[in-house]
Every structure is written in C-alpha cells, then in structure tokens.
C-alpha cells in the first residue's frame, strides 16, 4: 500500500498519540505530533523533585508477558529493547489490607495461582472462583482485537449476553461471600468501577490482563514515550513539544490547518485528535459539528480524577515492595470513592523500581480516586495562583492519605523526607482532560452507546484516538491506536503486520 505521500498531524503527544503516530510512521506516513506541554508523554510523563524522578501516573504494565498483545505491538514497533521492566512478584501481584479489620490478602498472578491464593482464604468458594475466572476469560476472548485477531466487524462489538451486565452483578453470579466479591473488585479504582453501572466486559478485560501477569517500569515511565517518539523520528516524522494547538481551521467538512500558540499553521491530509474528545471540540469552530453532537458529547460522564502524593523516603526505612498495595477503610468499600468528609475510602501505593534496585525504597507514590466536585471552589484558578485555602486543603488531603497508608506501613510518617501533593486540577491542566478525568469517559451498562465514541467523525479528515474510545490505559490505548491507524491503512493491515512480525521473530528464536 503506497502511503509515503500522506501526512498526518496528531494533536496530543500522550500514549494514544505516540502509539498511533509510531504505527503510521512505521508504515510510511509523514507524521507530526503536536504536544502542548514541554514534555511529551501525557500520563507517561516523568518529572524531577528533590533530585529524583517521579512518574505522573502509577503504571502497572500488563499485556507484556511473552505473546501478550503489548509484547507483540511493542516488538513490531521495535521499542521492547528500549524500555526496561521487571515482573512483579508471582505470589503477590496485589496486596489489599482492610483498615477496619486489619486483615491482609495477597493475590497471586497466573490463572491457577490467582484462584489458589483466594481459595486458601475462602475454601468454600473454590468452585465459584473457578467458574468466575472461566467466565472472565470467556468474555475477554470474544474481543478479537484484544488478542490481535483479524476481524470483519466492529472491533469492539459487544457479543455475549454477559458483556453489559453490571460488573458487581456479574461477580455475584459466581461468588456468595461478600468479602470475596469485594476482593475480586479490588481493581475497580483502575477504571472507576461503580455499582450497577460498570459493564462486566470492562471488569473482565482488566482482570484478564492482571491475572495473566503484570510488570512495572525500571526507572521513569518517560522511557516508553521517548522510545515511541524515536520510532516516529527515525521514520522521518516530528514530535514537537511545547506546540499547543489553539485553533482548528475548517472549510466545509474538512480541516485545512491547525494553528499553534506561536501562530504557525500546520497542514496535513489527516488530523488525529489524541486528546479528550470534549477538549478537542472546544478547539473546533461551531459549524464543524452539530449542536446535537456537541450536546451528546457533553452529556457523557467523565471518569473520576485522582489525588496523588509523591514521597522522597529517608534511607533504609521502607523496604522496596515489588507489587501494588491497596488499603481500604472498610470491608465493602471498593466501589465507594468517598465524599469530601470521608475521603479517602481507599488508596493504592507503589515503591517505583529503579536501576540496580536494592532492598530499600527511596521513593513512593500514593494515589486515591477523587471526584471533581471536591475541588469545585478552585476550578477556575490557574497553577500557582490558587490561594492559601487551596494549599491548606491540599496539605490536609495529603495527610489523610498518609494516615490511611500507615495502616499498612506503620513507620511511613517517620520515613518521609519530602512530600508533595497533586490534585485533579493538575490532571486537568497538564493532561488537558475535562474534569481531570484519568480514564476518559465512564462506561455505563444502562446506556452502553452513550459513551461509545467512533474513531471517525463527520469532519471527513478528523479522527479520534486515545482513552476516550473503548478502553483506557497501557493496554487499551494502544489497541485503540491500531483501530484508528487501520482507518487510514486498511482493516487488519496493522494487525496482520504485528502478527507476521511476531511469527517471524519467534521462528528465528
């Protein structure tokens, strides 16, 4: 397929923009990525405080086990050798502690080990656990794109009856014990899971990934963003940081140019929005989309945001922990985000791995979901100008997180050398996401089509990619990038290329 004369401009240099750009550049397109921040990467961005690097997000890397979808995609793009990862503990990929009871559960990875680790705690539920896991995998198996299978229908078509029932009801079909149901929902904060709302397919896909196996970066997450940018540049493309798109010029039903903050016009054959769909519509002239379309987009609820603290630890006080730890206040509070008075209901923390990682951790990241309404008094303020009340509020919520984390790590407060908090306002301002949404749009099984965003638009040369489509995160966004790229390259073109490359590589091994 001859594509060397085609040019694509990608608005947004986060995970979705970089994966989409890398695929198109590898397949002969002239790619130009325009990122508003001085650092590319979006949720992959890293920053420096107190002489050390921190990731803006908590990254559990799934799909990278041999033969996994991310393993295949990154192998095809040539970035596997440019990033360093380590596997989390097989016998404890996730640890969850309940503050009310003091009980701690350790959940293993690997299909059989996952079942066994929970069956030891709930022996009467072994059969139910086996049936639950079988059905989780059965739902996931129906999504051909997840396994990079060629398809001749909508790649995210919901096929089975279980797809769109509420995740909590899905779990209850197989599990009687309420505490075990809660444990099986422990990853709900990773996709803003909600009672009676989140579809079973979202729960199943995420849990399949984590049961199969998780990894984490060794060193900053920025390494993946930089590796993808290198693929684009090595194939003749450009990745421009500090190039904020301020205006989109539209004639008829086609974009003719985008204009950056410096006044420069950028033109292409295709324009791909890798930012929040609502934020993209804010850039578009009124006539480009109907009022009905804009109203529909505005009606889609966003996922929650997050409050995160970054900690520099004193030497030799907190051991390096090679898994993710969850702490929750009560036995049955996984789906409860908590309001202003009782926040946080739960949290996650990690000790990020560093090159040559030894016994002790030197940094920690703690995060908890937070609803946008909690920062409503300051939503119209700018970074650095939010006032003393905001700083007081932020410090109070930083201390709340530390208090709850101390349930799992009693000496944490004494081990803190430096700490800094980050609120949903930071997520909104740096990621360009409406309401600081960290996972794009919420999926609601009661109206599944409301949050279904197609990658094609009524503007003939504008396409969407990123976490507002289909699934979010380190696995979902690259799969969406394939769907977007194949609109320009041809259905199954990229999937076939990925599989051919993987088979050829395996044959040489």
Same domain, 310 and 426: yes
pLDDT digits (tens, 9 = 90+) for 442-470: 999 888 888 889 999 999 999 999 999 87
365 with 427, same domain: the answer is yes
Those residues whose C-beta lies under 8 Å from the C-beta of residue 417, and which sit 6 or more positions away, are 50, 311, 312, 313, 314
Has residue 73 been placed in a domain? yes
For residues 277 and 199, membership in a common domain is answered with: no
DSSP state of 53: E
> Is 54 inside any structural domain?
no
Query: Could you say which of 212, 231, 254 is where a domain stops?
Result: 212
Asked whether residue 431 falls in the same domain as residue 461, the answer is: no
Same domain, 315 and 434: yes
**pLDDT of 383:** 85
Domain annotation covers residue 390: yes
Cα pseudo-dihedral 46, 47, 51, 53, rounded to 10? -20
What pLDDT, on the 0 to 100 scale, is given for residue 1? 42
Percent of the chain with pLDDT over 90: 81
Q: Please, where are the H alpha helices in 235-365? A: 277-283, 291-299
* Residues 6 or more apart in contact with residue 488 via CB below 8 angstroms: 3, 6, 8, 24, 29, 270, 463
Residues 351 and 469 in one domain: no
What pLDDT was estimated at residue 3?
42
Residues 6+ apart with CB under 8 A from 100: 329, 330, 331
The arithmetic mean of pLDDT across residues 478-490, rounded, is 96
Give dist(CA 109, CA 90) in Å, integer.
5
Structural domain contains residue 296: yes
pLDDT, one tens digit per residue, over 213-237 is 999 999 999 999 999 999 999 999 9
Same domain as 276, residue 158: no
69-77 and 473-489 helices cross at what angle (nearest 10)? 50
What pLDDT sits at residue 26? 97
Does 411 share its domain with 424?
A: yes
Tens digits of per-residue pLDDT, 425-441?
999 988 888 899 999 99
- Number of structural domains (the chain) is 3
Residue 407 structure tokens: 């349930």
**What is the domain extent for residue 341?**
304-438
- Max Cα–Cα distance, the chain, nearest Å: 67
Question: Of 438, 467, 493, which residue sits at a domain end?
Answer: 438
CATH number at residue 472: 3.50.50.60
Does residue 119 lie within any of the structural domains? Answer: yes
Name the nearest CA neighbour of 144 among 161, 162, 156, 135: 156
pLDDT digits (tens, 9 = 90+) for 91-111: 999 999 999 889 999 999 999
Q: Does 2 reside within a domain? A: no
Cα–Cα distance for residue pair 123/133, rounded to 1 Å: 16
Between these two residues, 508 and 64, which has the higher pLDDT value? 64
**How high is the pLDDT of residue 40?**
95
324 is a domain residue: yes
Tokens for 141, please give them.
């198996």
| Distance of alpha carbon 102 from alpha carbon 87, whole angstroms | 28
Helices (H), 173-266: 178-184, 200-212, 222-234
Same domain for 131 and 174? Answer: yes
pLDDT of residue 228: 98
Give yes or no: residues 147 and 35 share one domain: no
Instruction: Give the global pTM.
Output: 0.95
Q: Domain for residue 330, yes or no?
A: yes
> What separation, in Å, do the N-terminal and C-terminal C-alpha atoms of the chain show?
29
pLDDT digits (tens, 9 = 90+) for 298-329: 999 999 999 999 999 999 999 999 999 999 99
- The pLDDT of residue 448: 82
Specify the DSSP class assigned to residue 218: B
Domain edge (last residue) among 212, 236, 258: 212
Q: What is the pLDDT of residues 336-379, one digit of tens each?
A: 677 788 899 999 999 999 999 999 999 999 999 999 999 999 99
CA–CA distance, 11 with 94 (Å, rounded to integer)? 35
Residues 360 and 345 in one domain: yes
Regarding whether 377 and 356 lie in a shared domain, the answer is: yes
């Amino acid at each position: 397929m001859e594509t060397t004369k085609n040019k694509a401009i990608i608005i947004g240099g986060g995970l979705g923009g970089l994966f989409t750009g890398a695929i198109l550049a590898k397949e002969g397109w002239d790619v130009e990525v325009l990122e508003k921040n001085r650092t590319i990467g979006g949720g992959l961005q890293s920053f420096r405080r107190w002489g050390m690097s921190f990731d803006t997000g908590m990254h559990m890397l799934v799909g990278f086990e041999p033969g996994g979808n991310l393993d295949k995609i990154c192998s095809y793009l040539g970035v596997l050798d440019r990033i360093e990862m380590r596997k989390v503990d097989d016998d404890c990929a996730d640890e969850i502690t309940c503050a009310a009871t003091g009980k701690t559960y350790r959940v293993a990875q690997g299909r059989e080990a996952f079942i066994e680790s929970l069956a030891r705690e709930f022996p009467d539920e072994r059969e139910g656990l086996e049936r639950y896991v079988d059905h989780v995998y059965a739902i996931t198996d129906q999504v051909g794109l997840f396994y990079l299978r060629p398809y001749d229908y909508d790649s995210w078509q919901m096929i089975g009856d279980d797809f769109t029932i509420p995740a909590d009801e899905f779990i209850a079909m197989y599990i009687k014990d309420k505490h075990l149901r809660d444990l099986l929902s422990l990853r709900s904060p990773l996709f803003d899971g909600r009672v009676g709302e989140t579809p079973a397919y979202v729960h199943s896909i995420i849990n399949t990934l984590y049961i199969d196996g998780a990894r984490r970066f060794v060193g900053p997450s920025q390494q993946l963003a930089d590796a993808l940018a290198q693929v684009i540049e090595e194939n003749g493309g450009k990745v421009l940081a500090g190039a904020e798109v301020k205006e989109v010029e539209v004639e008829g039903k086609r974009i003719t140019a985008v204009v950056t903050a410096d006044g420069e016009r950028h033109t292409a054959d295709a324009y791909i929005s890798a930012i929040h769909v609502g934020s993209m519509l804010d850039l578009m002239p009124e006539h480009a989309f109907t009022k009905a379309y804009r109203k529909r987009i505005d009606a889609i609820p966003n996922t929650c945001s997050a409050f995160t603290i970054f900690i520099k630890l004193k030497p030799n006080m907190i051991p390096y922990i090679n898994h993710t730890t969850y702490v929750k206040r009560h036995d049955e509070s996984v789906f409860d985000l908590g309001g202003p008075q009782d926040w946080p209901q739960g949290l996650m923390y990690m000790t990020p791995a560093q090159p040559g990682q030894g016994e002790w951790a030197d940094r920690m990241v703690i995060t908890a979901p937070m609803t946008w309404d909690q920062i409503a008094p300051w939503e119209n303020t700018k970074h650095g100008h939010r006032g003393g009340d905001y700083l007081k509020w932020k410090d109070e919520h930083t201390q709340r997180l530390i208090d709850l984390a101390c349930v799992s790590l009693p000496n944490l407060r004494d081990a803190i050398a430096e700490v800094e908090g980050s609120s949903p306002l930071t997520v909104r301002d740096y990621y360009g996401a409406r309401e600081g949404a960290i996972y794009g749009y919420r999926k609601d099984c009661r109206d599944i089509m409301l949050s279904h965003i197609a990658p094609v638009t009524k503007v003939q040369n504008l396409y969407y990619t990123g976490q507002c489509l289909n699934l979010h995160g380190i696995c979902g966004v690259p799969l969406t990038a394939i769907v977007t790229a194949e609109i320009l390259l041809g259905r199954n073109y990229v999937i076939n290329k990925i599989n051919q490359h993987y088979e050829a590589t395996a044959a040489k091994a």
